[in-house]
Amino acid sequence: MNLADWSLHFYRLPYGRKVVWSNAIESSGVFALLKLVSQDGVAGLAEGTIKSTWSGVSPRSLQAALEDVILPAVKHVDLGDPGALSMCFSQIPENRLAKGLVDSACWTLRAAAAKQPLWKLLEGEPAVDLCWTVTRAQPSAMADEAAESCGRYGFRTLKVKGGQGVKTDLEALAAIRAAVGGSVELYVDANSAYPRAEALDYVRRIAEAGATIAEDPCPLAPDAAFEALQSACGIPILVDASCTSVRDAELYAARGARAVSLKPGRIGISESLAIARRFKKTALGIYAESALGTLVNSQLPATLAAEQSFFLTMKSQVVHPVPQIRDGRLELPDEPDVSRLVDWVAVKRHSL
């Protein structure tokens, strides 16, 4: 299957509230939708999140990377062959988001060509457990948000954003636990906020407060310090920001890493699959996807609750129907051709 045509669409979707990340405060999200069409007329697509503090790209720079570098390189590559595409990309440095978009779009194209949903092609399940991400705020506000999301959608796992200071993080965990009860599992993601020398004490304290996973408690590297931290802290360290390639995964696995965050929205499905093979515990991490990105990325198999519910924060979507979450689970589409789920009128309405 060779590339016959492609299109790139940018749109902005408003949030229902202000969202505080570790490196940005937002009231909306900007997205890129890449559509590829093969010479046989089969379509595949993927969504990318455009945040300068996350992906380091703008709409113009992503457009240029795809138009000038990535897509010309894949023009004569068989898009149905993951190995051939990977070999092509290995000759192109940088451009992680652009390559990831093309890679994921090729996976949805292969599913459409095979006339089976992507989750089945990847030997996954038709439904996935999701968790809700409780972003930074005052502990009482975080507790209210946690209770509302668990009550409304039935989430059984919460990802609590830490990094507001140890005292505040512990207060937030206590308030959330009181609000949702003891049956909801709590992960804590500090977004590398604490010094490495303080990480062990921090992880032990959040574990005592009920956390079962600690994601990026400090700046991590696959070294002796990480190995000592994972060995001593008692709960899995979920490696996220510093594991974006198979090579990173191999180095962390050699140092005893027990869990890793997969972000196909950041690096593509193929690289995420290769990373996942090296760990027993894997989580689909948040990349602030809309419902469209969620429907694509959630089809990648993982073992922990997927952090793919952020689309609920948005007031508008570019898919129809909008996916529903019940009892903390997302039913994945049976439709092999994901492009048929896109509301192209909404894409145009929200275009930049």
pLDDT in the model for residue 296? 97
pLDDT (tens digit per residue) in 5-18: 999 999 999 999 99
pLDDT (tens digit per residue) in 226-257: 999 999 999 999 999 999 999 999 999 999 99
pLDDT in the model for residue 211? 98
Percent of the chain with pLDDT over 70: 100
pLDDT in the model for residue 178? 98
**Confidence label for 153 from pLDDT (cuts 50, 70 and 90):** very high
Give me the chain's average pLDDT, please. Answer: 97
Q: What is the CATH number of domain 3-115?
A: 3.30.390.10
pLDDT (tens digit per residue) in 328-339: 999 999 999 999
**Confidence label for 267 from pLDDT (cuts 50, 70 and 90):** very high
pLDDT (tens digit per residue) in 270-296: 999 999 999 999 999 999 999 999 999
**Confidence label for 74 from pLDDT (cuts 50, 70 and 90):** very high
Where does the chain hold its CATH 3.30.390.10 domain(s)? 3-115
pLDDT (tens digit per residue) in 299-315: 999 999 999 999 999 99
pLDDT in the model for residue 300? 97
pLDDT (tens digit per residue) in 195-227: 999 999 999 999 999 999 999 999 999 999 999
Where does the chain hold its CATH 3.20.20.120 domain(s)? 121-341
The domain defined by 121-341 carries CATH number 3.20.20.120 = yes
pLDDT in the model for residue 26? 96
pLDDT in the model for residue 263? 96
pLDDT (mean) for 48-77:
96
Alpha-carbon distance 134 to 142, whole Å? 6
pLDDT (tens digit per residue) in 175-201: 999 999 999 999 999 999 999 999 999
